[in-house]
Structure 1
Amino acid sequence: MRQEISLRARIAVAAALLFGMAGFGQAEPAHGIAMYGAPALPPDFVSLPYVNPDAPRGGRIVLGETGGFDSLNPFILKGNAPWALRSLGYETLMGRSWDEPFTLYGLLAESVQTGPDRDWVEFTLREGARFSDGSPVTVEDVLWSFRVLGEQGHPRYLGAWEKVATAEATGPRSVRFTFTTADRELPLILGLRPVLQKAQWEGRDFAQSGLEAPIGSGPYVIAGFEPGRFLLLRRNPDWWGRDLALNRGQHNLDEIRIEFYADAGVLFEAFRGGAIDIYRESSAARWQSAYDFPAIATGRIVKAEIPHARPTGISGLVMNGRRPVFADWRVRDAMLHAFDFEFINGVLTGGTQPRIASYFSNSELGMGPGPAEGRVRELLAPFADELLPGALDGYALPVSDGRPSNRRNLRIAFARLEEAGWRVGDDGVLRDGAGRPFTFEILLRQGAAESQKIVDIFAEGLKRLGIAVRISTVDSAQYTERTDAYDFDMAFYTVGLSLSPGNEQRLYWGSEGVTRPGTRNWMGMASPAAEAMIEALLTSDSHEDFVAATRALDRVLTTGRHVIPIWYAPSSLIAHRATLRYPQTIPIYGDWIGFLPDIWWSERE
C-alpha cells in the first residue's frame, strides 16, 4: 500500500518557507514558534494533523536493530546508547510538528516568547509537568540541564550553549536565555533541549558513561534491559503529558521492545520468523523479491511505502581528509571515479534506486545542474580561488556504463592519481614519490550487510589501480568510539538533512570539527566558503536568499568530493505486522523522527 503526502502538507512546506507571511518578532507569549513565519496550527488545536487522535491505546511492538549498546545515557559522548531512549524517555520545552519545515509547539513549556530580533527567549513551564518519579519539573531543572549539557554533554549541545550570555529564572515557572547575538534559530534549538532531573546528579559525574539512565519526563520508562541484547520500554501510566493536544494520538503502545542482532541477515530472518514486528527494507530489489514468505501470503505481515518530501541528505563512504592519503582533492576525485555506482546499484538494488546527486538534492534547496547563477554565484564569488573545480562552473558525479570493468572511469581515476603524485611500480602497486604504497582501511559497523557488499565490490575495483584496501568490521561501541575520535581512513557515513537547515550545519561542516571530537564533520573539512554560506543562510532575511545560500553551501559540499554517495529512497519501505497501524495522512518528513513507533497503534487480532 502506498500513501501520498497530502496537498495540505505540500502547501504547508511552501507557506512556512515564505518569510514574509508574518512578522519576525514575537513580543507576546505564544503557544508555538516557527523558524520563519507563523505556526500553522492555532492555539486551540486539538492534535497534530498527521496523527489519529482517536487511536486506541495498548498493545506492544517488537523492533529489531543491528549492533548493541553499552550505555543508557544518550546525552554524552562516551558510550553507545539505544536511539529510542532519547526520543521516547525524555521531553523538551517545545515539541516539533513534522508536517512543517521547522515549527515547535509547547510541551513542557506552555508558552514561548522572544524579542523582535530573537536575541533572547523566555519559556513558561506548565504547572503540572512531572518527571517519571512524580517530582515536578522546575525552572532549576531547566537551568541545570541546559548548563550541564552544554558543558559536559555531547558536543552537539556545545555550539548553542556558547551563544548564551545569561540564563536566569524570571518567575517561579519562567526562565529566560539571553544570547550573545541575535539568532533566529537559537530559540528553537533551546526549545528542543532535553530537560533532566538535577537532583539525580548531585555530586555525580554526568559525563561518565554507565547503565543508569537519567530521569526524564517522557512517555516511556525503562522496564528491563540486557546490554547488547534487548531494551524494554514501558509506557508510564502516570505520564503527566498524556492529555496534551501535542501528544494526542501519539505514544499509544504500552510496551516497546528492541531486540539487538549481530547483522542485518539475522535480523531479517528474525522478522520472517515472527520474532520482531517491523522491518525497514533498504533494498528495492529485495522488496520485490524477498517478501514471499507465508506470513505475507496469509496477510499477517503487510508491506507499506511511506513517501516523504525531505532532502536526500548524504549517505555513502566518507574520506577522512585528516589522513594524508585523502588530503588531496584529486585523490578523492579518483575514488569517486573508481566507485562504479551504476554497476553496484544494479547488483544490489536492481538499478531501481536513484543516486544522491548532492547533499540537499530532492528539494528546492539542492544545487541543481549547470553553472552557479544569480545570487548563488554572488555568494560564492569571493571564494573563487579556494573553491574546487565544478563549484562555479557546474559539477555532476561520474557516471559509468554499468559494466564491472568500469574502464573509462578507472582511466580518469588513474590520471587524477598521477596528477597527485602517485605512480604504479613494476610490482603493480600504486606508490607515492617516497615509494610508500597506497593502502587504506575502510571501517564498517558489524551487521551492516549492505555496506559490506558495497565495499567488497568497490575494493575489487581499486585493486585494478594498484590500491590495497583493508576492510575492518567492528561492533557498534567500537564504531562509535572510533568515528567520534575520527580514527579511520574511510567509513560508512549518513547525515540526514531537513527542509530548514540551520545552526546544526556548523556541527556538520564547521572547521572546529577538524579537531573537536564527536561532530558530524567526519571528513575533516575546513572551508571558509562553507562557513560563510552557513552564516548566510542563518542571517537571510528573504526566502530567496535562504534558498540561494543553501544551494551555494550544497555546491561547496558536493564539489569538495568528501563523500562517495550511494542511493536514496524516495519512499521508506516498511513491512509490518498487520495489527500495527499508522495514520493515512503522512507528514512531509515521512518515515522520520516522530513517526515510528510514535504515532502507530496496535489493534486486536
Structure 2
Amino acid sequence: MPAANIRGYVVESLLARGYDEPFTLYGLIADSVATDPGRSHVTFTIHPKARFADGKAITPADVIFSFDLLRDHGRPLFGIYYGKVTKVQAIDDRTVRFDLAASDDRELPLILGLMPILPKHATDAATFEDTSFSPLTGSGPYRVSAVRPGESVTFTRDPHYWGRDLPINRGLWNFDTVKFDYYRDGNTYFEAFKKGLYDLRVETDPGRWQTAYDFPALRDGSVVKEAFPYGLPKGMQGLVFNTRRAIFADVRVREAILQLFDFEWINHNYFFDLYQRTASYFDGCDLSAHGVAANARERELLAPFPGVVRDDIMAGVWTPPVTDGSGRDRKALRRAFDLFAQAGYGLQGTQLVHRASGRPFGFEILTTTRDQERLGLAFARSLRRAGINTQVRNVDATQFERRRITFDFDMMDYRWEQSLSPGNEQLFYWGSEAADQPGSRNYMGVKSKAIDAMIAAMLRATERPDFVAATRA
C-alpha cells in the first residue's frame, strides 16, 4: 500500500512536519535535536516515553537499524539521501549522532529527522523487500487491524499510544477507525463517492467537476462541493520524453513534438478551459523562473555552463507554444517541420522519416487510466498530421508501474509535485546519478552537470535570495 498511508498513522519518524509552514519540524520520537552552524552533524535524543505498539522502548539501536535498512533495501531515494552520512553511532541509551561532514547539505539533518523508525526486534531485514500482508509494527497512533488485498486496509486507534499528549499531536488522530478503500478506475471511484461509501474526495478531473456533481446527496446538502486556493507551487503534469531512447536525444526533435501538442484544443474540448498551461515546475510561487529575467546571482551560478540555458529563457520571455485551438493549426505544423528538418527528418510521402537512414519516425505513449489514454489518443491524432506513427498502449497499473520504475517506455504521463522548500528530492527527480537508478523519478533520463551544480547550490544555501536563485537557475 502507499507509504503515505502508513507514515504518520502507524510508523513515525524522529521529527514531524508542521504543515502550516514550508519545512519546519517538531519533536516526535525525538524530544530534542542538536546540530552545529555548519550542519556537519546532527544528534537526536529519543523521548523517554517513546514506545512501539508492542510496548518495547525505542532505542538508538532501532534508529541505526532503520537507517541501515532503508539505505540498503529501501526506495532509491533513501540510498541517495542517507549515502551522504559518513558515520552514525549511539552516544548513550537515548542519543544517536549522525556525522555529515562531507555532505555540504544543510537540509540533511531535517531529512534524517523524517526517517521512518522501525523496530529492530520485529523487522526481518532479509525479507524487507518482499511483498507481504503482515502489518508492520510501528510506534504511531494507529495499528493495522485488517487487510483485504486489492480492496481495503483498516487502521484502529491504539488506546495505549505513547505520544497522545505531545504538542505536535494536539487535535490530531481523533477517529477510532480509519479505512482506506482502493478502486481500479476513476469512474468506479466516483460512483462509490456518490453512494456514500467514502467521506472525502479530491477532484482532479475538470470535466467531472463541471458536469458530474449533480446527484441527490449534493442537492440535499449531504455532500458539499468546494473549491479553494492554496499557496503551494502548482506542480507540473505532462507527457515525459524518455531521452534514453535515441529517437528523443535531439532537443530539436523534442521541441518539434512540443509544437504539435495542441493544448488550447484539448483544454477547451476536454477540460472546459479550466486548466492553465504549465510553464515551470514551480508555477505559482517565487521559485518559478517563468517570465522572470535571470538576475545577477542566477547568471553567476550558470556562468560555468555557457549556453546550457537558452537566451529567451534567461531573458524571461520564453513561453510554451500557443495554437489557434482548431486542432489543425498549420502554423504550428510548419514550425514543427522546420525543427524536424534541422534534426535531419523529412516527409517521405505521408510519413516522417530520418533522411539519412530512411527510418520512419514513431513512438509509443504508455498510459494506465482512461483519462491518460484519452489524452494520448488526442495527441496521437495531432502527431499523425506530421506523419508520425504514434501508438497509445494502455496497460494495467501493475504493468505500468513495472515499466515506469525500469524506464521501459518512450513517453508517458506523469505529475511532479513541488513544495516551497525543495531540497534533496530534486536529486531524485533530475540528478545525473538518478538517471541510471531504477525507481527514481528522473523519468526523462536527464544528465546535466549544470543541473547537479544548481541542486548542490540549493542545498548549501543559507539565505533565502541564494536559495531562490539556485532553484530558478
Q: TM-score, normalised by structure 1?
A: 0.75
The answer (yes or no) to whether the contact 1:184–1:538 under 8 Å persists in 2 is: yes
Q: 1:537 aligns with which of 449, 458, 461?
A: 458
* Alignment pair present for 1:218 and 2:147: no
Deviations 1:53-83 (A, max 9, x none): xxxxxxxxxxxxxxxxxxx5xxxxxxxx464
> What's 2:331 paired with?
408
Q: 1:420 aligns with which of 343, 362, 370?
A: 343
Question: Relative to structure 2, which stretch is displaced further, 187-196 or 505-514?
Answer: 505-514
Kindly report which structure 2 residues correspond to 1:179-198, keeping only aligned pairs within 5 A, or say none: 179-181=100-102, 182-198=104-120
The answer (yes or no) to whether the contact 1:235–1:253 under 8 Å persists in 2 is: yes
Higher strand share: 1
What amino acid maps onto 2:165 in structure 1? D
* Alignment pair present for 1:546 and 2:467: yes
What amino acid maps onto 1:136 in structure 2? A
What amino acid maps onto 2:236 in structure 1? I
Kindly report which structure 2 residues correspond to 1:468-483, keeping only aligned pairs within 5 A, or say none: 468-483=389-404
Alpha-carbon distance, 1:301 to partner:
0.8
Percentage identity across paired residues of the two chains: 43
Cα distance 1:543–1:485, how it changes in 2: closer, same or farther (>3 A)? same
> What's 2:295 paired with?
373
Cα distance 1:132–1:306, how it changes in 2: closer, same or farther (>3 A)? farther
> What's 2:266 paired with?
344
Q: 1:440 aligns with which of 339, 358, 363?
A: 363
Cα distance between partner residues in 2 of 1:86 and 1:439: 42
Deviations 1:532-570 (A, max 9, x none): 111111222322111111111xxxxxxxxxxxxxxxxxx
The answer (yes or no) to whether the contact 1:97–1:105 under 8 Å persists in 2 is: yes
Cα distance 1:290–1:95, how it changes in 2: closer, same or farther (>3 A)? same
SS at match of 1:141: helix
The answer (yes or no) to whether the contact 2:41–2:101 under 8 Å persists in 1 is: no
Deviations 1:112-146 (A, max 9, x none): 10012110000011111111222221111001001
> What's 1:112 paired with?
33
> What's 1:56 paired with?
none
Question: Relative to structure 2, which stretch is displaced further, 106-115 or 467-476?
Answer: 467-476
> What's 1:460 paired with?
381
SS at match of 1:307: coil
The answer (yes or no) to whether the contact 1:380–1:392 under 8 Å persists in 2 is: no
Deviations 1:143-182 (A, max 9, x none): 1001110111111101222111111111111111011324
Deviations 1:197-223 (A, max 9, x none): 111234633223332233211222222
> What's 1:34 paired with?
none
Kindly report which structure 2 residues correspond to 1:268-287, keeping only aligned pairs within 5 A, or say none: 268-287=190-209
Q: What's the RMSD between the two structures over aligned residues?
A: 1.7
SS at match of 1:455: helix
SS at match of 1:279: coil
Q: TM-score, normalised by structure 2?
A: 0.95
SS at match of 1:243: coil
SS at match of 2:187: helix
The answer (yes or no) to whether the contact 1:91–1:217 under 8 Å persists in 2 is: yes
> What's 1:334 paired with?
256
SS at match of 1:88: coil
Cα distance 1:200–1:370, how it changes in 2: closer, same or farther (>3 A)? closer
Cα distance between partner residues in 1 of 2:179 and 2:63: 30
Alpha-carbon distance, 1:86 to partner:
3.2
Cα distance between partner residues in 2 of 1:462 and 1:505: 31
Cα distance between partner residues in 2 of 1:382 and 1:203: 44
The answer (yes or no) to whether the contact 1:462–1:468 under 8 Å persists in 2 is: yes
The answer (yes or no) to whether the contact 2:133–2:147 under 8 Å persists in 1 is: no
Q: 2:233 aligns with which of 289, 300, 311?
A: 311
> What's 2:420 paired with?
499
Deviations 1:235-271 (A, max 9, x none): 2222222221101111222222222222111211121
Greater length-normalized contact order (CA 8 Å, ≥ 6 residues apart): 1
In structure 2, the gaps of 5 or more residues are none
Cα distance 1:85–1:308, how it changes in 2: closer, same or farther (>3 A)? same
Cα distance between partner residues in 1 of 2:439 and 2:94: 34
Alpha-carbon distance, 1:351 to partner:
0.7
Cα distance 1:540–1:223, how it changes in 2: closer, same or farther (>3 A)? same
> What's 1:102 paired with?
23
The answer (yes or no) to whether the contact 2:290–2:318 under 8 Å persists in 1 is: no
Alpha-carbon distance, 1:388 to partner:
4.5
* Alignment pair present for 1:134 and 2:55: yes
The answer (yes or no) to whether the contact 1:222–1:234 under 8 Å persists in 2 is: yes
Cα distance 1:500–1:126, how it changes in 2: closer, same or farther (>3 A)? same
Alpha-carbon distance, 1:323 to partner:
0.6
What amino acid maps onto 2:348 in structure 1? G
The answer (yes or no) to whether the contact 1:92–1:192 under 8 Å persists in 2 is: yes
What amino acid maps onto 2:352 in structure 1? L
Residue-pair matches, total: 470
Alpha-carbon distance, 1:298 to partner:
0.8
Cα distance between partner residues in 2 of 1:288 and 1:499: 30
SS at match of 1:156: helix
